[in-house]
Structure 1
Amino acid sequence: MASGNSMPGPVCLIENSDQKLVVNQEALAILSAIQQPVVVVAIVGLYRTGKSYLMNKLAGKNTGFSMGSTVQRHTKGIWMWCLPHPKKSDHTLVLLDTEGLGDTQKGDNQNDCWIFALAVLLSSTFIYNSMRIINQYAMDQLHYVTKLTDLIKAKSSPEQSEVDDSANFVGFFPNFVWALRDFSLVLEVNGQRITADEYLENSLRLKKGMDQETKTFNEPRLCIRTYFPKRKCFIFEQPAEMKNLSKLETMEDSDLSPEFVKQVSQFTSYIFKHSDVKTLSGGIKVNGPRLQHLVLTYVNAITNGELPCMENAVLALAQIENSAAVQKAIAHYEQQVEQKVHLPTETLQELLVLHRATEREAVELFMKNSFNDVDQRFQKELWAQLEAKRDELIRKNMDMSLDRCSALLRDIFAPLEEEVKQGAFSKSGGYHLFLQKKQELEKQYRQVPGKGVQAEEILKKYFESKEVVADTLLKTDQSLTEKEKQIEMEQIKAEAAEATARELEEMQKKHELLLEQQEKSYQEHVRQLVEKMEQEREQLKEEHEKILFLKLQEKEQLLMEGFQKESSKLQQQLEKMRKKWQYPMCTIL
């Protein structure tokens, strides 16, 4: 893939071959390399209505997506073109061109429904391209929108959707843009000029009545209003004379209708400015790898005869990314320990302070890269791994200290041991001479820095291993009386008992220190978790408020159009939503 997330031309993302949807691995590899947030613009519509021309214009090109010049459909499946976003730095624009809907040669139109549903699921802006005017025929051709709830699930279980499933769709469905081609009417109602947006809204007005004809009239309009509350309409006059339309991609702007060129420019400017980053529940911004996952998840569900589920897709994505977040946090911990912690440390507390600082960074990194961690499963896993890393670090610190102290003792006391072997102290007064040299060497040992946490323990064990030597020298020293020898032996026992007491006290202090540091780590961990959960809680609240606002607009529109009963019914749904969407304080671990 070229630098800057720019592809020289489109590639097939989802192949539609023999009524089967197959994901193209080359396209997935391209998406996996895009780490920037993606703005995904998809276009659907009947075949041979000029969809690809508009998408090429969004790519800043005349050619790219196949346009064709015959009545036969050209684009099969969904094609993808990734480009640097022209208006948003550090963002990638992903254009999705879909095969023409309603081709009579296909016979079974089930795959048309899936192509339509996938375009909705994957995009942040959804363009519906049609010809000439918005009338009942145009609405009938948009019957795919009425099947969305049969093709897509918002929640994994019926219980979760009991309030109003459309509310779950509204929050994360794309913005809707209707592109009306070869428009030749005057935008005027009752002698008053209206905008293209007003023309769309007038076309979406409902009729009163309970007969089948009225229901058929209202159904697609109601679906568009319900699932796509943010709507925009663009009209395009015929770009050139009929005989030249087949050569559109080779024509310069100067060869086209000036009004058409202007309309295309306004369309592209709007898309670039108002198309948002693809976002999932929880405010999760989609990048290339996340879009790759969504494509695989949705297509696999369809292939397996299941309905694509928005919630399941987010949960599966969370599993993948939270697992990766744990590994990233552990890798950061190991890297920082390698760089900052110089073993052996002089005290256990010094080591634990370094551990806690590095642990805090690791947890912060996990929080930054994780989302939707149900029951804090992955955070608990991280906590367990960090505890194991701490224990491993403590053991390594002790082992390195042991090795260094043992080597140091061998170097320092080797001459004394050699003198003992040569019998230098096996004489009258030899015992006190041995003690004097031993104390001098002990002082030398203590003055050496960098021995670590095992310095006293190893020294004690070394002296214990030489007690037989000292005892022998004491018993054979002829200059000492039996009473003096007895006093010396009592002194040795007292010193040993005192050393044992100090050792026990030191062990107790280490144990208390570990517990104290563990509690501090836990409290810090909880603090970071509460902060993360509060952020997610606020995000969820913001999402729900947005949905409530959109549903309230829908209710007011129904009331304004005189649908009192439908407006009251929607008000009841709003009340149910408010009661269901409560925001309790988070529960910790």
Structure 2
Amino acid sequence: MATKLIMPAPICLIENSSSGQLVVNPKALDILSGISQPVVVVAIVGLYRTGKSYLMNKLAGQKKGFSLGSTVQSHTKGIWMWCVPHPTRKDLTLVLLDTEGLGDVEKEDPKNDTWIFALAVLLSSTFVYNSMGTISQPAMDQLHYVSELTEHIRTRAEPSLDGVDGSVEFVSFFPDFVWTVRDFILELKLNGHPITEDQYLENALKLKKGTDEKTKLFNLPRRCIQQFFPTKKCFVFPQPATGKNLLKLEELRENDLESEFVEQAERFCSYIFQHAEAKTIQGGIVINGTRLESLVMTYVETISSGEVPCMENAVLALAEIENSAAVQKAIACYEELMGQVKLPTNTLQELLDSHEANERKAIQLFMQHSFKDEGHKFQKELGTHLLGRRDDFVKQNEKESTKRCETLLQNIFKPLEEEIKNGSFIKPGGYNLFLQKKQKLKQQYERESRKELLAEETLLKYLQSTEDTANAILQMDQSLSEKEKMIKAEKTKAEAAEQSVKRLQEMQARSQQLLDQKERSHQEHMTQLTQKLEREREQILAQQEKALNLKLEEQARLMRDGFQNESQRLQEQIQHLRMQTQNNSRPRSTCIII
């Protein structure tokens, strides 16, 4: 990915159409498909007219880009995207997603807000929630979308066998959570003591004791934020400017803004650049632009069909696309490398060595670009194709060698054939003369063809084709007695039989070479697959360990605050995660037949 700006301005990624349907913009998908680097996806959501777009423009390093708006109407519709080079990591691309304002009174279908919120969670690696004033109960009430995520996102296609709610796994795959509080006018103090912004958020997320409906509603969004998001961060911003200047932030210079606001905006950007990670999905699979394109299409198509987006299904759909492409990349790699092999090779083994070396590179490329290959379907497809291409190259190699040997034979034995046509050997002693000349030419051919792959076999075939001619010359040689002719004929037959046996042995030897190479190919597939599965197992274990540790921290916090019942409820989830971790701790046996 080039270091220059990928996009001069944002583009709509998902449009919230007038009919209430979410529609993906093909031009935006084309941009994503061209990004091969891993992507850090930062999405921001919040009520309309709360300054979300300003923060996103700051992350893009631009004053203008995402529309800020200066009226009571929501400017951003759907989800807008801006892909820019990551300012501190050359190996990453920053994808910024600005969402339409939640709670717009002009919106015909309020349910669209829920889907926009859910998509922002599903697509991002860092999720920014932007609100005004303070983290008060009204602000929490506005965040009811997070409480509805269990109804609008599923982790698995099928319910868990142990009956545990699938949302227990959200923490393994959800983005980091950043709450930005705008126009904050309070002092950061608790019980008269200064506190940090993160402590302010932690205090705001504390649960209340009680089982009445009001307390349940109070606790619900707080519990969901605590349980679903792996890390939580808070930034509070003072007003950026005063009076009419608030309406023209795009036009103001940094010097015209409140210095404390500017400093806080820099802190926010610095945090995102340093701590926001590349987007990953189940199994620790890193997402690049092409994979993000697939996720966008899958999730929007699912929502449009009236279904609930499922992470597992999205991963499987992505795997189908990626693995099919991985097969094609591996095949192209193999073909390019084999195209550099000059045919014919001197020996079959020389060709097979080239095939093995190039096959190994092709398998490595497939392993790099494939994931979640259920039943090793695509690896088998690759293995079968490469085996077929090996056989094609073997045949082509033999064909090229045979062609060269036949040309050499024609050139060397042409004088002999001319003499046969002229009847030079139809005389007493002609047969012995024929044999002498044939032997002399045979030795010449063997000298000149010693480096050819099918030199011997081609010669044997040629000699067999001359047997009738040799017998005819033998029978017409008047200097030989009938007994001598019989002895000579038997000797010729024996030589021909010996040549046939030798040819058969050579063919069997080549077949065995091919079988041995096929076994080595199978072992190469198995070795690389085993290594890949071990890496994937370690990634899954790391994800599950992280989720388990977060649940244990949450349980400790609940026990510290006196929520024994909540802590007991969480124990079931912890046990579920522990069982998953134990299952994945055991190395999986692998078997692939190609």
* TM range, smaller chain: over 0.9
Within 2, Cα distance between the matches of 1:119 and 1:53? 18
Which residue of the partner structure matches residue 156 of structure 1?
A: 157
Q: Distance in 1 between matches of 2:351 and 2:168?
A: 52
Counterpart of 1:414, as a letter, is K
Q: After superposition, give the CA deviation of every residue in 1:228-251 in whole Å (9 maximum; x if it has no partner).
A: 130000001112213321112211
Query: 1:559 — aligned with what?
Result: 559
Q: Could you report, residue by residue, the CA deviation over 1:248-305 in whole angstroms, capped at 9, with x for unpaired residues?
A: 2211121121111111111111111111111111221111111111111111111111
What CA deviation, in whole Å up to 9, does each residue of 1:136-180 have, x standing for no partner? 100000000000111111111113683342232111111111110
Aligned mates of 1:477, 1:2 — CA distance in 2: 84
Higher mean Cα deviation, 458-467 or 144-153? 458-467
SS in 2 for 1:549: helix
Shift in Å, 1:21 = 0.9
Matches within 5 A, 1:15-164: 15-18=15-18, 19-159=20-160, 162-164=163-165
Would the aligned equivalents of 1:176 and 1:230 in 2 still touch at CA under 8 Å? yes
Shift of the alpha carbon at 1:3?
Answer: 6.5
Q: TM-score, normalised by structure 1?
A: 0.97
Structure 1 SS opposite 2:141: helix
Distance in 1 between the 2:296 and 2:472 partners? 82
Distance 1:520 1:126 in 2: 48
* Structure 1 residue 505, shift from structure 2 partner: 2.3
Residue in 1 aligned with 2:331? 330
Paired residue for 1:502? Answer: 502
Cross-structure match for 1:210: 211
Matched residue, 2:184: 183
Measured against aligned partners, the alpha-carbon deviations of 1:206-239 in whole angstroms (never above 9, x if no partner) come to 0111100000100011011111130000001112
Distance 1:490 1:17 in 2: 93
Counterpart CA distance in 1 for 2:510 and 2:66 is 69
Residues 548-587 of structure 1, C-alpha deviation per residue, up to 9 Å, x if partnerless?
Answer: 1111111111111111121122123212321233123223
Give, in whole Å, the separation in 2 of the partners of 1:501 and 1:247: 94
Give the superposition deviation at 1:112.
0.5
Q: Which residue of 2 aligns with 1:437?
A: 437
Which residue matches 2:201? 200
The 1-side partners of 2:548 and 2:106 are apart by: 43
**Secondary structure in structure 1 of the residue aligned to 2:106:** helix
Alignment-derived partner of residue 490 in structure 2: 490
Distance 2:162 2:444 in 1: 76
* Cα deviation code 1:409-442 (max 9, x no counterpart): 2221111111111111111111111111101111
Residue identity matched to 1:289: T
TM-score when normalising by structure 2 = 0.96
Counterpart AA for 2:262: V
Q: How does 1:64-463 map to 2 (within 5 A)?
A: 64-159=65-160, 162-339=163-340, 341-449=341-449, 452-463=452-463
Counterpart in the other structure of 2:587: 585
Q: Secondary structure at the match of 1:158?
A: coil
Give the C-alpha shift of residue 509 in structure 1.
2.1
Partners of 1:78 and 1:98 within 8 A in 2: yes
Map of 1:539 onto structure 2: 539
2-side partners of 1:511 and 1:103: how far apart?
74
Q: Could you tell me which amino acid in structure 2 is paired with residue 475 of structure 1?
A: Q
1:155–1:161 contact (8 Å) kept in structure 2: no
Map 1:565-576 → 2, pairs under 5 A: 565-576=565-576
Cα shift readout 1:347-368 (whole Å, capped 9, x = no counterpart): 2222222221211111111111
Flag structure 1 segments of 5+ consecutive residues without an equivalent: none
Is the contact between residue 428 and residue 477 of structure 1 (CA under 8 Å) also seen in structure 2? yes
Contact 1:530-1:588 at 8 Å conserved across structures: no
SS in 1 for 2:73: coil
The CA distance in 1 between the partners of 2:311 and 2:235, in whole Å, is: 29
**Mapped partners of 1:504, 1:59: distance in 2:** 72
Q: What CA distance in whole angstroms lies between the structure 1 residues aligned with 2:250 and 2:493?
A: 101
Shift of 1:87: 1.1
Distance 2:33 2:518 in 1: 39
Distance 1:296 1:385, change over 3 A: same
Q: Secondary structure at the match of 1:171?
A: helix
State the SS of the aligned residue for 1:321. Answer: helix
Q: Specify the code of the residue in structure 1 equivalent to 2:374.
A: V
Segment drifting more, 443-452 vs 428-437: 443-452
Counterpart residue type for residue 458 of structure 2: I
| Structure 1 contact 344–450 (Cα < 8 Å) conserved | no
Contact 2:122 / 2:174 at 8 angstroms: preserved in 1? Answer: yes
Q: Matched residue of 1:343: which SS?
A: coil
Cα pair 1:5 1:92 within 8 Å, conserved: no
Q: Do 1:15 and 1:78's aligned partners in 2 also have CA atoms closer than 8 Å?
A: yes
Deviation, structure 1 residue 107? 4.2
Determine if contact 1:2/1:8 at 8 Å carries over to the other structure: no
| Local SS of the residue matching 2:36 | coil
Q: Secondary structure at the match of 2:249?
A: helix
Q: 1 CA distance for matches of 2:573 and 2:178?
A: 27
SS in 2 for 1:456: helix
Q: Secondary structure at the match of 1:15?
A: strand
How far, CA to CA, are the matches of 1:363 and 1:2 in structure 2? Answer: 28
Q: Which secondary structure state, in structure 2, belongs to the residue aligned with residue 86 of structure 1?
A: coil
- The worse-fitting range, judged by mean Cα deviation, of 174-183 and 345-354 is 345-354
Are 2:168 and 2:573, in contact at CA under 8 Å, matched by a contact in 1? no
- Residue 283 of structure 2: SS of its match in structure 1? coil
Is the 8 Å Cα contact of residues 103 and 113 (structure 2) preserved in structure 1?
A: yes
Letter of the structure 2 residue corresponding to residue 579 of structure 1: M
SS at match of 1:56: helix
Aligned partners of 2:154 and 2:167 also within 8 Å? no
How many angstroms does 1:337 deviate by?
1.0
Equivalent-residue separation in structure 1 for 2:503 and 2:450 (angstroms): 20
What letter is aligned with 2:137?
A: Q
Query: Alignment partner of 1:149: what SS?
Result: helix
Paired residues, number: 588
Per the TM alignment, residue 385 of structure 1 is displaced from its structure 2 partner at its CA by: 0.7
The 8 Å contact of residues 405 and 455 in structure 1, kept in 2 or not, is answered as yes
**Counterpart-to-counterpart distance in 2, 1:531 and 1:229:** 29
Counterpart CA distance in 2 for 1:571 and 1:470 is 94
Amino acid at match of 1:184: I
SS in 2 for 1:179: strand
**Structure 2 counterpart of 1:139, which letter?**
M
**Identity over aligned residues, as a percent?**
59
Please say if residues 11 and 79 of structure 1, whose CA atoms lie closer than 8 Å, have aligned partners that are also in contact.
yes
